[in-house]
Amino acid sequence: MKTKNINNIKSVYFVGAGGIGMSALIRYFLSKGKFVAGYDRTLSELTEHLITEGAKIHYEENEDLIPKECRDKETTLVIYTPAVPQEHAELAYFRKNGFEILKRAQALGIITHSSKGLCVAGTHGKTTTSTMTAHLLHQSHVGCTAFLGGISQNYGTNLLLSQTSPYTVIEADEFDRSFHWLSPYMSVITATDPDHLDIYGTKEAYLESFRHYTTLIQPGGALILHKNLELQPNVQPGVRTYTYARNDGDFHAENIRIGNGEIFIDFVAPDTRIKDIQLGVPVSINIENGIAAMALAHLNGVTDEEIKQGMASFRGVERRFDFKIKNDRMVFLSDYAHHPAEIRQSILSIRELYKDKKITAVFQPHLYTRTRDFYKDFADSLSLLDEVILIDIYPAREKPIPGVTSKLIYDNLRPGIEKYLCKKEELLNMLTQQDIEVLITLGAGDIDNYVPEITKLLAAKVQN
């Protein structure tokens, strides 16, 4: 079977089915009437949703659990995430038996190749910006299909489908050079702070990967680059290049008003100005995310009035400044931030909203290698808080590294900050003892599984 016949397959098997990017593909193939099954290491709310939607998912690494519908190599496609170890027993079975096996990014590249891809890349900000872009297009006369890296609060899913729009909004992930499989019509690049050094090795190699990505943008399209990036793009002839930033660039904001839990801006583009845009999710980091999303929408025919309506009605993304409790006595929100620069921006945005409140964070570091490479930067960012609770590192695909624990970050926090090391299973008990005014959970691991219980616990505290 050739990958170009992707629409002719009958069954798709996912190794690592519970990843947010994988789940959008699962939903896509279910919408096409395919038999979809897969494995994930842990049961989660997302995998339970996928099962309800028709996928057959199990949680034990065991080739005997692969359904019979997925054992014909002529009619089955296997898709895996690079987060799964190469020696995974089920992957080994498919390899040994000659199945076609694609990385998630390869499959996404094939599916979206014939559409006009509006891609959002960058170390951070890409999930909110791509989801915002998808909402702006979807609620306009233009429409779009979208493969997102987070669950849209407006639609309750990370997949939007259109039968008529030529546009596909895609979150372009730089991990494992995944975004090199894409063929963008237009792209935003939000940030290039070095990350994934376990893959890239050096900052220079990381930047070179983004530089190569810019060569993939199709002639006739456009690159919208954050003005302050340390990146020299290498676009093909016929690709327009624009800059954006909060206060400067071809696309920027003016007349910014922040107060009473609301943010209003004027959006300035080379050929228009849209006054009094209200941000549906009023955190200051969304000013820049919004400028990038509005730039993509504007360049692809969304009207000024549709942009204004879309920005006001945007409800955000799960785990991205996701408010769970918000009242006069207490605020609790969940955020996916897991890179030092991302965490810094999150904390500064919260500080801007809650200047006089004590701000506490629970942080779960993600990956031993990232902690080893950036523990001092994590400590600098977290030191902007009043109180920090550090829980154990979430290993994901990695084996432990001797000497690399959350204590590295703990030991480098600024003097005077209230700080604690806490086992994950003791977190709820610890939070019952704390005096909470504003609490944020930070991290890309399984800390989110605790959010419903934390919400319940804090809501009870407010009532007492």
Band of residue 143 on the pLDDT scale cut at 50, 70, 90: very high
Consecutive H or E run containing 268: strand 262-269
Residue 301 near residue 433, CB atoms below 8 Å = no
Phi/psi zone of residue 168: left (φ > 0), alpha (ψ -120 to 50 degrees), beta?
A: beta
Asked if pLDDT for residue 56 goes beyond 70, the answer is: yes
* pLDDT per position as a tens digit, 377-417: 999 999 999 999 999 999 877 889 999 999 999 999 999 89
How confident is the model over 61-89, as pLDDT tens digits?
A: 999 999 999 999 999 999 998 778 888 99
CA distance 131 to 443: 19
The tokens 């997949």 sit on which residue?
Answer: 159
Give pLDDT, residue 250: 98
Gyration radius of the chain over CA positions:
22
Identify the DSSP state of 67: -
CATH assignment, 113-313:
3.40.1190.10
Letter string b/e over residues 376-401, b meaning 16 or more CB atoms within 10 A of that residue's CB: ebbbbbbbbbebbbbbbbbebebeee
Does position 17 have pLDDT exceeding 80, yes or no? yes
d(CA 295, CA 277) in angstroms, rounded, equals 14
**Fold annotation for 7-105:** Rossmann fold (3.40.50)
| pTM score above 0.75 | yes
**Beta-carbon contacts of residue 338 (< 8 Å; ≥ 6 apart):** 365, 366, 370, 442, 443, 444, 445
CA distance 250 to 271: 10
Q: What pLDDT, on the 0 to 100 scale, is given for residue 326?
A: 85
> How confident is the model over 52-65, as a mean pLDDT?
95
Rounded to an integer, the average pLDDT of 258-279 is 93
Which residues, 6 or more positions from 459, have their beta carbon under 8 angstroms from its beta carbon? 325
The CATH number of the structural domain formed by 322-463 is 3.90.190.20
Q: Are strands 438-442 and 359-363 parallel, antiparallel or unpaired?
A: parallel
DSSP code of residue 339: S
Lowest mean pLDDT segment, chosen from 164-168, 259-263, 273-277? 259-263
Q: Is the pLDDT of residue 2 over 50?
A: no
Residue 319 has pLDDT above 90, yes or no: no
Composition of the chain by helix, strand, coil, percent to 5: 35, 25, 40
Q: Token match 């999303």: residue?
A: 293
Q: CA nearest 393: which of 404, 382, 381, 378?
A: 404
pLDDT of residue 198: 64
Average pLDDT, the chain: 90
User: What are the pLDDT digits (tens) for 168-182?
Assistant: 999 998 877 889 999
Whether pLDDT at 448 is above 90: no
Instruction: Give 4's pLDDT tier (boundaries 50, 70, 90).
Output: very low
Helices (H), 145-284: 197-200, 203-215
Q: pLDDT tens for residues 322-362?
A: 888 888 888 999 988 888 988 998 898 888 778 788 999 99
Q: Where are the domains of the chain?
A: 7-105, 113-313, 322-463
Measured in whole angstroms, how far is the alpha carbon of residue 460 from the centre of its chain?
A: 31
